[in-house]
């Protein structure tokens, strides 16, 4: 899975034999690459970094480097695959690339890029970009017909790396047309995309033309709203609430969530766009059916385009997320207070539905700020201001559990 990469595409690569193939478009995408280990040196004080194949004896070192690059929940999953390339400095692995070759029933071979990482001390030096190009050269020469990978919606550096290799983001409906249902399902399974909330599929093909990558706002919004209504309706049906009311409120919350965060971002001078989170819909439906609760997947509000960097927008996005959570806290708290004191008795079903939907959003947008829920607003707030996150998280805990304690 392409994650946790902090690199700069376009850094001058001294002695890099693949530099001329940085942007693979049109006929260039069908060029042949010869493997040559690369050795670069950023400065006189920094160690030389060698890009080479992973030796069989270094599998344990590869996994150890992955543990340094990823959070604990993901680090335990890092392991070499069929195509493995590493960056070595002072005899130690400092970055890794791993891809799996998956034969399909129709005779095609799909490459699945599972891991691309750089340990923290070597991030920001362009090592990940050089490593990705070298790994893709090997992947192409292995005879694949296409490759897929998934990338966190905030990891714009990885967006640019894979786009420089001729890949681009493909939406679910584009995946089905480009790869077919079976290859799409296999790719999702191999990547763990069913559970990769807030991640997006990127694909490259050898012979097929990639679809237009222009943002399709209407379809993105339709996907988010239909999925939100369906998930809310199923959870309400299982929990015994009004199916229609919960579905409508779920849609209203998605729209309000985006409107507030996008509006606050715009006030600060940041243009944004909405992107659906298709990867977790199956999991969310299963949770709704079995646990009778909502696992919300409202989609994300992202800066427009792919030329922004998450670390540069921490403040503006954090403030926007904080404003949304404050509004949500007030709405949900008001609903619980009205229910407890039996105010607005004629609106009881509506208040119950608001509390049911709002509580789910408080859990993820105000409290859970770690992987695999880092695409939600809680992490945006924590990255911007730890005290602000602690305040909103405490407020959410009080709002969620006070009704239980009060009976």
Return the DSSP state at 324: H
Return the percentage of the chain with pLDDT > 70, whole number.
86
Q: Is the pTM of this model over 0.85?
A: no
Mean pLDDT of 347-365: 95
The radius of gyration of the chain from alpha carbons, rounded to an integer in Å, stands at 23
pLDDT given at position 73: 65
Grade residue 361 by pLDDT with cuts at 50, 70 and 90. Answer: very high
- Where b means 16+ CB within 10 Å and e means fewer, 327-346 reads ebbebbbbbbebbeeeeeee
What residue spans define the domains of the chain? 19-205, 217-406
* Cα–Cα distance, 342 to 338 (Å, whole number): 6
| Residue 46 scores a pLDDT above 80 | no
Q: What ranges make up the beta strands (E) of 226-298? A: 272-275
pLDDT value, residue 116: 87
Average pLDDT over residues 58-78: 81
pLDDT band at residue 215 under the 50/70/90 scheme: low
Provide mean pLDDT across the span 267-273.
95
pLDDT, residue 127, reads 86
Gap between the Cα atoms of 243 and 226, Å rounded: 14
The pLDDT, as a whole number, for residue 292 is 95
pLDDT at 205: 87
Per-residue model confidence (pLDDT) at position 402: 79
Strand partners, 86: 52, 96
Say yes or no to pLDDT of 22 above 80. Answer: no
Rounded average pLDDT over 366-389: 94
Of 139-153, 213-227, 376-390, the least confident: 213-227
Find out whether 48 and 89 touch, Cβ atoms under 8 Å.
Answer: yes
Q: What does CATH list as the number for 19-205?
A: 3.40.630.30
Tokens in use for 67? 């543990």
Higher pLDDT among residues 164 and 27, named by residue: 164
The sign of the CA dihedral 216, 221, 223, 224 is positive
Q: Cβ distance 202 to 151 under 8 Å?
A: yes
In this prediction, residues 51-69 reach a mean pLDDT of 87
Give pLDDT, residue 214. 64
DSSP 247: H
> In DSSP terms, which residues pair with 85 in a beta bridge?
53, 97
| Omega prior to 372 cis, within 30 of 0 | yes
Q: Are the beta carbons of 198 and 153 closer than 8 angstroms?
A: yes
Residue 47: CA count within 13 A, CB half-sphere: 13
pLDDT band, very low/low/confident/very high, at 274 (cuts 50, 70, 90): very high
Residue 301 has pLDDT above 90, yes or no: yes
Residue 275, pLDDT > 50, answer yes
Q: Compute CA distances 14 → 5, 39, 129, 173, whole Å.
A: 21, 8, 13, 41
Instruction: Measure the N-to-C terminal CA separation of the chain; round to a whole number of Å.
Output: 45
The span from the CA of 44 to the CA of 46, in Å, is: 6
Q: Which residues contact 343 (CB under 8 A, 6 or more apart)?
A: 337
Average pLDDT, the chain: 83
């Amino acid at each position: 899975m392409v994650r946790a990469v902090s690199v700069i595409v376009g850094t001058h690569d001294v002695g890099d034999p693949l530099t001329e193939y940085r942007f693979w478009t049109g006929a260039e995408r069908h060029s042949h690459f010869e493997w040559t280990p690369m050795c670069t040196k950023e400065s006189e004080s920094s160690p030389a970094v060698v890009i080479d194949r992973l030796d069989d004896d270094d599998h344990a070192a590869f996994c150890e480097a992955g543990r340094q690059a990823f959070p604990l929940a993901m680090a335990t999953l890092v392991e070499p695959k069929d195509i493995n390339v590493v960056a070595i400095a002072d005899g130690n692995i400092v970055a890794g690339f791993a891809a799996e070759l998956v034969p399909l029933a129709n005779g095609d071979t799909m490459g699945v890029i599972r891991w691309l990482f750089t340990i923290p001390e070597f991030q920001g030096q362009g090592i990940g970009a050089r490593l990705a190009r070298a790994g893709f050269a090997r992947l192409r020469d292995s005879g694949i017909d296409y490759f897929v990978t998934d990338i966190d919606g905030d990891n714009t550096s990885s967006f640019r790396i894979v786009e420089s290799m001729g890949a681009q983001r493909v939406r679910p409906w584009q995946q089905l047309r480009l790869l077919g249902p079976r290859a799409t399902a296999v790719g999702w399974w191999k990547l763990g995309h069913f559970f990769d909330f807030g991640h997006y599929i990127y694909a490259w093909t050898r012979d097929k033309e990639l679809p237009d990558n222009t943002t399709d706002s209407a379809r993105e919004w339709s996907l988010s709203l239909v999925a939100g209504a369906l998930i809310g309706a199923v959870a309400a049906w299982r929990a015994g609430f009004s199916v229609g009311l919960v579905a409508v409120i779920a849609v209203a919350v998605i729209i309000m969530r985006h409107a507030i965060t996008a509006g606050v971002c715009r006030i600060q001078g940041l243009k944004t766009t909405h992107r659906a989170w298709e990867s977790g819909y199956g999991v969310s439906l299963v949770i709704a059916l079995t646990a009778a609760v909502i696992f919300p997947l409202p989609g994300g509000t992202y800066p427009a385009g792919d030329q922004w960097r998450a670390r540069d927008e921490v403040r503006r996005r954090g403030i926007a997320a904080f404003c949304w959570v404050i509004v949500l806290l007030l709405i949900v708290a008001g609903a619980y207070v009205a229910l407890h004191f039996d105010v607005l008795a004629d609106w009881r079903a509506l208040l119950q539905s608001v509390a049911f939907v709002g509580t789910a959003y408080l859990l993820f947008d105000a409290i859970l700020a770690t992987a695999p829920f880092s695409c939600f607003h809680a992490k945006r707030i924590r990255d911007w201001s730890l005290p602000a996150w602690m305040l909103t998280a405490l407020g959410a805990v009080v709002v969620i559990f006070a009704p239980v304690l009060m009976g």
